Structure 1
Amino acid sequence: MEQRIGFIGLGNMGSAILQGILASETVSASQFYIYDVSSEAIESLKQKYALNVLESAKEVARESDIVFIAVKPNNVNEVLTEIQKELKKSTVVVSIAAGITLKAIEAVIGYEQKVIRVMPNTPALVNSAMCSMTPNTEVSPEELLTVRALLNCIGLTEVLPEYQVHAATGVGGSAPAFVFMFIEALADAAVKGGMSRKQAYKFAAQTVMGSAKLMLESDKHPGELKDMVCSPSGTTIEGVQVLEERAFRAAVMDAVEACINRSKNLSGEK
């Protein structure tokens, strides 16, 4: 890959994406052009990698073939306005800002600009992200593949139409919080049963991670995998009955739906 890649904003998510790509060794550090208002964020990266550290967002836009906009959503318009005149027509702008639509980005930098809207999630911090990708009509299939290859360095990707980004926000962007709550609840129950807190968290987290991996790699329906654990008159089916009585699945669906509705609201949709 020969493209020059820019990063404007190096908070948790921007830094995770950048370091995930670097760790894959598919792109050399010398191909990256970075800027962040925080000198701390820059200094920690400079100590590890021979990156090109620039003095402004404008400079990053000027130098890059692909530029990641990884600032907070409330700062996106300011950054786009600043870099608009520096972007080449061939530059692909990748936004990871939640709630900022393609139309909103195009309204600032021009409707002829190549733009890809990406919704990553926090497991990107350990290269296990689930990212949705939504290109505008200016992005070619080859350009989309190039950016997808970069994002695959930090996890899995799926290309979605923009109307499905709200669902991706609910099941991908927000859901890690629900998973952490589930892990915490599992661990609390194990502690109540006599296990140490440290052991309980390890059992709960590994069980969730292993179960997810089993589903992805076996390609079996989650219901089938659930049935495999539920022996007749066994312990698991007793627990499943309690979860059904407490409307466990309905509660999860309602939580994700609430996230979807809030995502629509933040995007200005009804």
Structure 2
Amino acid sequence: MAAASAAPGPGPLRVGFVGAGRMAEAIAQGLIRAGKVEAQLVMASAPSDRNLCRFRTLGCQTTHSNHEVLQTCQLVFFATKPYVLPSVLAEVASSVTSEHILVSVAAGISLSTLEELLPPRARVLRVSPNLPCVVQEGTMVMARGRHAEKSDAQLLQTLLEACGQCEEVPEDHVDIHTGLSGSGVAFVCAFSEALAEGAVKMGMPSGLAHRIAAQTLLGTARMLLQSGQHPAQLRTDVCTPGGTTIYGLHALERGGLRAATMDAVEAATCRAKELSRK
């Protein structure tokens, strides 16, 4: 499959999104708010106007043509549903050039599959984001394809840090990140809900309990990140002999919290790997 000769013109970096869903919007919003790219240099494509309206609100260009995104932008995020992506790549392959940096955020589609669907020597990277990118507090890992350069990864990392934490990893870590952090958002929400409902059971109003639970998770996360401590150390710091916390932790251990959480990450990771094989 030969690459087309046309390429995005010289000048400032133009960033495109094929697919305009919530994750694409979150990344675009982070880039624009952090001043990484000007809104008018961002273009998004989607079949309908429903999602494109949010990009227009940000001041971005929009189109119904995926080819137009490739012909206009050098760095292009493919943010479609995983089952749609192969047909989208087949559609736009003729517009891909050696100047493009192509980034897939679709879960479960390997770099080798992406490279098979694109022209030879296409510069491809794979990114696994999570939903808190929406509030610029996400965590992302990325892996490079065979022909992506180190400078491509550095550029992408610099851009994505506007949306949260971003690190380059071997590709086999990407599916683990999906189980840990992608699915982990739901696991944390389930724990936050249970934490708050425990307080409701003891007589606290629901709204107040849920706000306090969420803030407790946020504050704890910041302490762990800023201190670099292992969670076990911070947990020990909270416990006093014969105090309230050790009694609560004993109850969690009886309920199998840690084993159940480890099982959840394992199950989600295995499912991500299964999707990759399919």
Output the TM-score relative to the length of structure 2: 0.93
**Partners of 1:14 and 1:70 within 8 A in 2:** yes
Structure 1 position 111, deviation (Å)? 4.0
Look up the match of 2:3. none
Please show how residues 12-91 of structure 1 align to structure 2 within 5 Å: 12-49=22-59, 51-91=60-100
Look up the match of 1:157. 166
1-side partners of 2:109 and 2:238: how far apart? 42
**Is the partner of 1:267 in helix, strand or coil?**
helix
Which amino acid in 2 is paired with 1:158? E
Which amino acid in 2 is paired with 1:221? H
Which amino acid in 2 is paired with 1:123? P
**Partners of 1:58 and 1:83 within 8 A in 2:** yes
**Partners of 2:139 and 2:166 within 8 A in 1:** yes
Look up the match of 1:262. 271
Give deviations 1:105-151, integer Å, cap 9, x for gaps: 11110341000100001111111111010011211121111111111
Which amino acid in 2 is paired with 1:8? V
Give deviations 1:159-215, integer Å, cap 9, x for gaps: 111111121111111011000000000110000111101000001000011101100
Aligned residues: 268
Structure 1 position 46, deviation (Å)? 1.5
Structure 1 position 54, deviation (Å)? 2.7
Structure 1 position 42, deviation (Å)? 1.5
2-side partners of 1:185 and 1:55: how far apart? 43
Q: CA RMSD in A?
A: 1.3
1-side partners of 2:120 and 2:181: how far apart? 28
2-side partners of 1:67 and 1:6: how far apart? 4
2-side partners of 1:38 and 1:240: how far apart? 50
Q: State, as a whole percentage, how many aligned pairs show the same letter.
A: 37
**Is the partner of 1:7 in helix, strand or coil?**
strand
Structure 1: state its 5+ residue gaps.
none
Structure 1 position 44, deviation (Å)? 3.1
Structure 1 position 244, deviation (Å)? 1.4
1-side partners of 2:72 and 2:142: how far apart? 23
Structure 2: state its 5+ residue gaps.
1-10
**Is the partner of 1:47 in helix, strand or coil?**
helix
Give deviations 1:199-234, integer Å, cap 9, x for gaps: 000010000111011000011111000000001110
User: Compared with structure 1, are the counterparts of its residues 173 and 111 closer, same or farther at alpha carbon in structure 2 (3 Å cutoff)?
Assistant: farther
Please show how residues 39-188 of structure 1 align to structure 2 within 5 Å: 39-49=49-59, 51-188=60-197
**Is the partner of 2:167 in helix, strand or coil?**
strand
**Partners of 1:6 and 1:33 within 8 A in 2:** yes
**Is the partner of 1:97 in helix, strand or coil?**
coil
**Is the partner of 1:13 in helix, strand or coil?**
helix
Which amino acid in 2 is paired with 1:135? R
Give deviations 1:48-69, integer Å, cap 9, x for gaps: 31x2223300110111111000
Give deviations 1:3-53, integer Å, cap 9, x for gaps: 11111111111111111111111211121122111202222321331x222
Output the TM-score relative to the length of structure 1: 0.96
**Partners of 1:62 and 1:88 within 8 A in 2:** no
Look up the match of 2:15. 5
Look up the match of 1:193. 202
> Which shows bigger deviation, 242-251 or 65-74?
242-251
